[in-house]
Structures are given as structure tokens and as C-alpha cells.
Structure 1
Amino acid sequence: MKLTIQLFAGIAERLNTSLLEFEYIGDIPTAADLKEKLSLAYPEAASQIRTSFLAVNQQYAPADNILSSEDELALIPPVSGGDGTDISDEKLRFPVREHRTEDGLFLITESTLSVEATTALVITPNHGAALTFVGTTREMTGEQRTVHLEYEAYVPMALSQMAAIGVEISDRWPGVLCAISHRIGKVDVAEISVVIAVSSPHRNDCYDASRYAIERLKQTVPIWKKEIWEDGSEWKGHQLGPWNPMEN
């Protein structure tokens, strides 16, 4: 069975491609079977493959998920994560300038982000509180100087996962609205990489929902960050122990 697998961040760089054609030999594969065979076929990336999750048709797949050749497959390393060297086949990167969900609340773009535009999406006459979180590129981390960041996304799945965060927030805090805008590509020091806006009738729900949104974004949304330094670079991965985007 021939399977086509999209690769991102450090795995794409390590294997020098972002679109892998893999001939699966054996019984009908599950997500776990495919990961193990990929690990054996590409030992140079085995540790990254084993810590990644397989996405099937833009959804994180459990280990026993059965695969078919018609599925849209993607190997998702820990979000904001990976490591490796520069990718050479730029044609295979997902082409995007600006993508937005149908309701307009969730955006991925290569353009400069507007705090005001994102916040305006959640302002309504019946909400008395609005809170906006803005993430920017930090220059110094300890003694390490960052020159700029580079973000990459699996765009369609990233948008659906962002929208899912909005649904989770609405379920946990009824009536709360959430909008998220995330930039990809090069983001210089002090420039904005993400804007999260929430609004609610009362302020307490705003604080709680805003924190929840940024933590879920870092856990589930397939967007990766590469730090570029004066003397090197590194994909930054999940920093909070074993990564499991299917936990809630």
C-alpha cells in the first residue's frame, strides 16, 4: 500500500522533504504500525517519529486508527517542535498567504498581525469584559540572543484545531467568545506572532478563558517555531513533559 505523508518542522528538515511517499508492506496498517515502520526505515529521524502523532484527515489519530491509501496523512511532531537542518525542497511547503475560518474568528497569515482587528472580532454589546493576549518575539533567553523566529503550520488542521479551542471555551464558559490570529513565516524581535482575544459578560471568565486558550494552542495546534540565533538555529518543542495533544 502506498501512503503519502506530509512532514513538518524538524522531521521534514531531517529527511530533507516535506512530502514522503512510503510503500507500506504488511497487513492493513494502524497509526502505530506506520510510525514504527517509519522509525525503522528512517533511523536518523526515529526518535522524532516516535514522539510524534499521526494526523489522519486533519485529526489526531489514536494508535489503533486503521489507515487507507485515500487518507490525508501528516506526521505531527510536538507542536512548536523538532530539530534538524535546513529544508531544501521549498516547493513542498504548504502554500499560504492568509487563511481564515468561515466565521472569521481564527486566522493564520504571513502578514503583520493587528491586535485591534483580532480584538474587534469578540466585542459585542452584551459583553462587559474583553481581554487580549499578545505573544511577541523575545530577543534574550538567558544569555542566548534570538535574531528572529520562523513559524511553520499545517494550515488546514491548525485552523480546525483553533476553532476547536473556541468550541471548548464556549462549552466551559457559556457565552464567552474567542478569536485567535497566528502569524507564520519570519517574525522579527518584538514583532507579534499570536493574538488571542476573548470577551464575556464578566471579567473572571475572560481571565480563565484567555489562559486556557494559550495553553491549548501550545498543546494541540500544529504550528512550529524555529529560533534563529547568530550562531545557529533550533526547532523548539513541547517543554512540559510527554506530549499528548489528545488529552483535554
Structure 2
Amino acid sequence: MKNNVQVLLFAGLADRIGASVLSVPVKEFPISTEELKAIIRETYPHAGSLIDISFAAVNQQYAAKDSLITETDEVALIPPVSGGDGLPSDEEEHKKYAGCTPDGMCVITTDILSPEDTLAKVLHPNHGASLNFVGTTREMTGDLRTITLEYEAYIPMALQEMQKIRSNIQTSWPGTACAISHRIGTVDIGEISVVIAVSSPHRDTCYDASRYAIEELKRTVPIWKKERWEDGSQWKGPQTGTWDPINNDC
């Protein structure tokens, strides 16, 4: 008896396969994430190289190769992140999917970002240092002229990963506050795509925590960007090294 696993696809992987959701037949449950990837790879060999470097997520958590999937799990295949789930390109449709964590400290939105608003969330009378990291769309990358960037996100999982970053900062640098805002949809030249605000009693901690936050966001948070140029476009993944959202020692 065959069963089906619904698998969400994102960004360049969704483009390569031509769908944002796959119904994958399996012989029986449970099935490991690696076995599921093998079935998808066999069905879509032209996407094999990208499937190989993608990570499975089960119930909005990155999963190891031997993690088991049951018939009730939410499953996604996450290509290297750059920071979509095939969200509609229309801005009004995007807004249905944008969201924030219950405490409001992590936000994903199609609206223009305000560094001041994000920074205001972390200011504290006992903190002597505060820092805003602001990421914007640059026009030139080497000889390539960027026309615009398009961001997509697996929003519920992205918000969970952002909260993990904040929690890890609290563990590593007790008393340090962090807020993260990220934009999705079209972000034009000079516009802000991400704001990470950090405050701490001392400046050295503030610098360290801010750098940690942006590096982890780029490594683990399922947000993707497509660079559009005058003569083409490309989904962007990690800039250097091998992507591994589970182990941070790669």
C-alpha cells in the first residue's frame, strides 16, 4: 500500500522542479529524510545536485539524515539559504503570509523597514551600548548590476529560527537584548532588507552579539533572495563554504 508525503519546496529548488509542493508516494511510514530525498532525486534527476545539498525540515525544524517522517508530519525541503516557499509575487498576497513572533521581537514583513522601530525594541536604561545592523540592496556586485532583489521565506520556520538566535544570544551574552526584522517581496536598490538591533551593558558584547546574529541568520533562517539583473536572475545561497544549518562548525 502506497502513501503520500506532501513536501514543500522553496526558491531555486521550486523553480528547478517546477512546483512549490510535491506529493511523494512512499511504500510505508515511517521513512527517513534521506530515503525521502532519494525518492525525489530519482523522480527529478535534473534537480539532483540541488536536492543533494538541501536539508529536510520536519515540523519546521531542520532534521538529520536519519530522522523519521510519519504521515502526520509537515515536511519541507530547504535549499541553501541566503539570508521561498513559492509565495505569490503579488504584494497584497505576500502580506497574508508575513508575521511576527508573539513578543514582537522578530518580524517578517513586506512593509518598508524602520531601523528606529527595531532599535526601540531593545533599548534599556541599564544598557550603555546599542547597535543596529542594517542590510540594504547594493547595485554593483563586481561587474554585475543588480536591478532589484526578491526575498521569499518559509515564514513560520524562519520566525522560529530567529527566536533561536535571540535565545542563543541570551545564553552566550546574558542580559543582551536582540530584535530582528526582515523584509520579503521586492526590495529595490538602496532599500533595507534586514535590521538586527542589539543592546547590552557594554559595547564589546554588543559588537559580538550583533555579528553572531547576522551570521546565524544567513546560515539557518529559511529566507532566500533572487538577484535580478538586466539580462537574467539567480537565487543566491551561502557565499562561501559548505552550507550546514545543523552544525555551526563547518
Shift of 1:108: 0.2
Residue 130 of structure 1 corresponds to which residue in structure 2?
130
For the residue of structure 1 that corresponds to 2:174, the secondary structure is coil
Q: For 2:14, which of 6, 12, 15 is the aligned residue?
A: 12
- Aligned positions of 1:1-248 closer than 5 A: 1-25=3-27, 28-80=30-82, 96=96, 98-248=98-248
What is the one-letter code of the residue matched to 1:29? I
What is the one-letter code of the residue matched to 2:129? A
Shift of 1:97: 5.3
The question of whether the paired residues in 2 share the 8 Å contact of 1:5 and 1:74 is answered with: yes
Post-superposition CA distance 1:37-66 (Å, at most 9, x none): 111111111111110000000000011111
Segment of structure 1 superposing worse, 234-243 or 147-156: 234-243
Segment of structure 1 superposing worse, 7-16 or 18-27: 18-27
The question of whether the paired residues in 1 share the 8 Å contact of 2:29 and 2:70 is answered with: no
Post-superposition CA distance 1:107-133 (Å, at most 9, x none): 000110000000000001111110000
Change (3 A) 1:89 1:178: closer
For the residue of structure 2 that corresponds to 1:233, the secondary structure is strand
Gaps of 5+ in 1: none
Distance, in Å, in 1 between the alignment partners of 2:88 and 2:182 is 24
Post-superposition CA distance 1:180-205 (Å, at most 9, x none): 00000000000000000000011110
Distance, in Å, in 2 between the alignment partners of 1:103 and 1:129 is 22
Aligned residues: 243
**Which TM-score applies when normalising by structure 1?**
0.93
Shift of 1:144: 0.4
Shift of 1:19: 1.0
Distance, in Å, in 2 between the alignment partners of 1:22 and 1:35 is 10
What is the one-letter code of the residue matched to 2:60? Q
Distance, in Å, in 1 between the alignment partners of 2:97 and 2:111 is 7
Distance, in Å, in 2 between the alignment partners of 1:52 and 1:178 is 29
Change (3 A) 1:88 1:112: closer
Shift of 1:96: 3.4
For the residue of structure 2 that corresponds to 1:33, the secondary structure is helix
Distance, in Å, in 1 between the alignment partners of 2:88 and 2:215 is 32
Gaps of 5+ in 2: none
**Which TM-score applies when normalising by structure 2?**
0.93
Change (3 A) 1:89 1:114: closer
RMSD: 2.0
The question of whether the paired residues in 2 share the 8 Å contact of 1:119 and 1:132 is answered with: yes
4+ runs of 1 displaced by more than 6 Å? 87-91
What is the one-letter code of the residue matched to 2:106? F
